[in-house]
Amino acid sequence: MFIVDNYLLAVILCVVTMVCWGSWGNTQKLAAKTWRYELFYWDYVIGIVLLSLIFGFTLGSTGDHGRGFITDITQVSSKNFWHAFTGGVIFNASNILLSASVSLAGMSVAFPVGVGIALVLGVFINYFGAPKGDPVILFLGVALIVIAIVLNGIASGKMSKGTEESKTKKKGIIIAICAGFLMSFFYRFVASAMDLNNLENPSAGMLAPYGAFFIFSLGILGSNFIFNTLAMRKPFMGQPVTYSQYFKGNSKTHLVGVLGGIIWGMGTALSYVAAGKAGPAISYALGQGAPMIAALWGVFIWKEFKGSPKAVNYMLTFMFVLFIIGLSLIVSSGGN
């Protein structure tokens, strides 16, 4: 299988992860013109599962290193299987909430708040689970990102204060906070199922990245029949939607959702591959720099802050600067 053998390549893959995780929300925005996010989310999950199989039978089954994909998933212990599967369940619960938040508050608000909180809590959880990197530099970078998240929230409040939109955004922000708290836990479960210290010859019963990603995707798919069905019947806003509506969607709309899952899944798979060299805390933290990417999409492409006063523009600029410095510190912490 393909594995990463140097820190620089691991960082590059983590940056790709960041771009993927921060960009999949564009497909939800595109689909939202004719499609509720609950319906979009089914196609998104299908895209993740498909991508896990594609990576498993290509990158996970070629080369002279490590175990092949099929061998890997058939030898996994029940404990590590359920760790990876549980990671998928936790992620799915959090991501459905994040999708709801995007539909209510927009990408430039939902991602920095929800994923930003997941970044902060997740770095602590992953670092103390498997310490790697300079903790002072790592946590200083995280602190700067916390300030950036706060600035984004303040800027959003100034844009819609005292309007009906303000109530909707407030609800979206609350949902994003809940999503971020849940999302901070999923990565550690999956990382604990992998032998990150020896990917070339993983211990018996433990998983290589491609097998872990596939089982993780099964956790997402299985739990979606519960979580998303509830979201469809009891939506955060609007009327309930049905499965019959899903099957009435056209192929183009379905493909947009599948593409969203493939984009997110690519970022996740590369993050797992990079974690062996970068460490789970740094790999997770860099990937969770996605809020900056999502905010860029939201601000410059979707014009979610169009017509904002100068004070808001200054806050957004400072937010981007702090995100960049914070992420740079996280990268440098791994070289110490």
Does a structural domain hold residue 17? yes
Please report the pLDDT score of residue 247 as a whole number: 94
Task: Name the residue type at position 273.
Answer: V
pLDDT digits (tens, 9 = 90+) for 163-206: 566 678 788 889 999 999 998 889 889 989 998 888 778 899 99
Which range of residues forms the domain containing residue 118?
7-333
Does a structural domain hold residue 24? yes
Does a structural domain hold residue 143? yes
Q: Which residue has the tokens 């706060």?
A: 150
Residue 221, classified by CB atoms within 10 Å of its CB into exposed (0-12), middle (13-18) or buried (19+), is middle
Does a structural domain hold residue 288? yes
- Pairwise CA distance, residues 268 & 275, whole Å: 11
Please report the pLDDT score of residue 44 as a whole number: 96
Does a structural domain hold residue 186? yes
Characterize 323-336 residue by residue with b for buried, 16 or more Cβ atoms within 10 angstroms of its Cβ, and e for exposed: beebbebbbbbbee
- Pairwise CA distance, residues 14 & 289, whole Å: 9
Does a structural domain hold residue 2? no
- The encoded tokens of residue 171 equal 């609800």
- Pairwise CA distance, residues 88 & 116, whole Å: 19
**What percentage of the chain carries pLDDT values higher than 90?**
39
161: left (phi over 0), alpha (psi -120 to 50) or beta: beta
Does a structural domain hold residue 157? yes
User: Structural domain tally of the chain?
Assistant: 1
Does a structural domain hold residue 1? no
